[in-house]
Amino acid sequence: MWTFGRKIAAGFTLAFLLLLGIGGVSYRSISALTSTSQLVTHTHQVLEHIADVLSVLKDAETGQRGYVITGDEAFLEPYQTAIGTVHNVVKDLRQLTADNPNQQSRIDKMEPLVAAKLAELKQTIDLRRKGNIEETTKLVRSGEGKKFMDDLRLLLTQMEREERDLLKQRADEVATASSGAKSAIIYGTAFCLVFVMAAGFFITRSLTGQIGAAIRHVQSSSAELQSAANQQASGAKESSTAMNEITTTISELLATSRQIAESAQRVAHVAEETSSAARSGDTTVQKSHESVNSIKRQVDLIVTHMLDLGKKSQQIGGILEIINELAEQTNILAINATIEASGAGDAGKRFAVVADEIRKLADRVGGSTKEIRVLIEEIRAAVNTTVMATEGGSKAVDLGARQFMEVASALKQITELLGTTTAAAREIELSTKQQATAVEQVNVAVSNVAKAAKETEVSSGQTLQTAGQLAGLSRDLIRLIQANASA
């Protein structure tokens, strides 16, 4: 595909070549015309000199005749002037027709005639000066002078005719050259105009199409660029904000890393102390395990005794029921005795007193058995509670013993793990310090990135502005190539 410059250069080159051709043709035609014009001028000069030869001879003859007639020397002036110029005129004529052998031949014939005429005139004048008018008239009447003049006129007419023929021929050549030059100029100019217009039209159309497409592409691209710049500006703003937040977060992270390093150091220290404590705790747990086993045996013994106590209290409850029953029966007997005694009159009074005492005693025994039943129930409840609590305690002791074993095992494991923990804590401390250093570097890098994001935000704004200007420029270009375009 041809570039714009190549198309324009090709158009101008063709136009230049056409103009050059037209100029060349025109120059050649004008040169020919000029040359022909010079030849015409030369022919006119020749014709003038031919006429001058005749005119000078006529002047000389005129002077000769005036003198001959008047004898006045004043009439000889044209004769004298003619004598002085006739040879020069003939000489010039010879030079002017040097390239024409016919005319040279005629000049060769003309020069003796001129000399003879001049001699005849001189003879006449001399005779008149001498006062020999007869002789002078005779000589004039002899017609010798006229004959010379007639011959000269004939020669000069021939020369003039030839020159007139040449003049006609050169006029034709001038007309031909002029017509060729006109045709070359008119047709060449017309062709050149047509060509230039066609080239201009095609180049303009081609350029308009291509430039228009390119401008529309640029316009579309500038719109996309504007949109992208908008997004980029928005993204850059968000990035800037995010970077600020990240910077803050990293600062906090840095502080946290330092705290973690310090904590890890403390953890390592505490882990060492805990390891020592765990080792001593292991010994203590072993001793406690033995004590717990002893407690378990004691608790089992207590449970046995308490179960016996529960059985005994049940037996006491049964006996107490019997006592209560006896007391109630005694009370009823005493009441009946009292009733019977009251029916026996005075004799029964003493018996009534005894019966009353028995009834009171039975009442008190009944009340006491109730209290004792309550106490026995409390004892049984307490025994049951104690048994249950003791059994629970026994189970708890069992569980405790197992847990002590687990604790001992766990303590051993803790001791081992604490060694690992100490090493890990030291590694964490070291790693955290390295991490803190890395975070510092990251902080610096993020600060730089934040700065770059800020600059990107500014650059995005400038890009947006440039994209806007580019879009405006595209619209202006579209208006330039499409006058009716409104985009």
Partner 1 sequence: MTLLSPITAKAAELRSVFDQARAAPFFSGKEEQTEDLLAIRVSRDAYAIRVSEISGLTTDRKIVAFPSPIPELLGVAGVRGALVPVYSLAMLLGYNAETERTRWFALCGAEDPVALVFSDFEGYVRVPLTELYATEQKDVSRTHVEHVVRATDMVRAVVSISLIRKTIQRRCGNDGVSKER
Q: Which is nearer to partner 1, 348 or 461 (CB)?
A: 348
Q: In whole angstroms, how close is the CB of 295 to partner 1 at the nearest point?
A: 24
CA distance 307 to 380: 10
Contacts 24+ apart (CB under 8 A), 416-425: 418/271, 418/272, 418/274, 418/275, 418/278, 419/275, 421/267, 421/271, 422/268, 422/271, 422/272, 422/275, 425/264, 425/265, 425/267, 425/268, 425/271
Q: In whole angstroms, how close is the CB of 367 to partner 1 at the nearest point?
A: 9
CA distance 33 to 178: 6
Q: In whole angstroms, how close is the CB of 401 to partner 1 at the nearest point?
A: 32
CA distance 103 to 42: 14
Contacts with partner 1 by CB under 8 A lie at 328, 331-332, 335-336, 338-339, 342-343, 349-350, 353, 357, 359-361, 363-365, 368, 371-372, 375, 378-379, 382
Q: Are 212 and 481 in contact (CB under 8 A)?
A: yes
425: Cβ contacts below 8 Å, ≥ 6 apart: 264, 265, 267, 268, 271
How far lies 28's CA from each of 16, 169, 173, 179, 260, in Å? 18, 19, 13, 12, 104
On the 0-12 / 13-18 / 19+ scale of CB atoms within 10 A, 215 is buried
DSSP state of 288: H
CA distance 177 to 29: 5
CA distance 476 to 487: 9
Q: Which is nearer to partner 1, 72 or 346 (CB)?
A: 346
Tokens (6 digits) for 33: 């015309």
Rg (CA), the chain: 81
Q: Which of 135, 107, 106, 100 is nearest to 120 (CA)?
A: 135
DSSP letters spanning 314-373? HHHHHHHHHHHHHHHHHHHHHHHHHHHHHHTTTHHHHHHHHHHHHHHHHHHHHHHHHHHH
Q: Which is nearer to partner 1, 358 or 481 (CB)?
A: 358
Tokens (6 digits) for 458: 């500014």
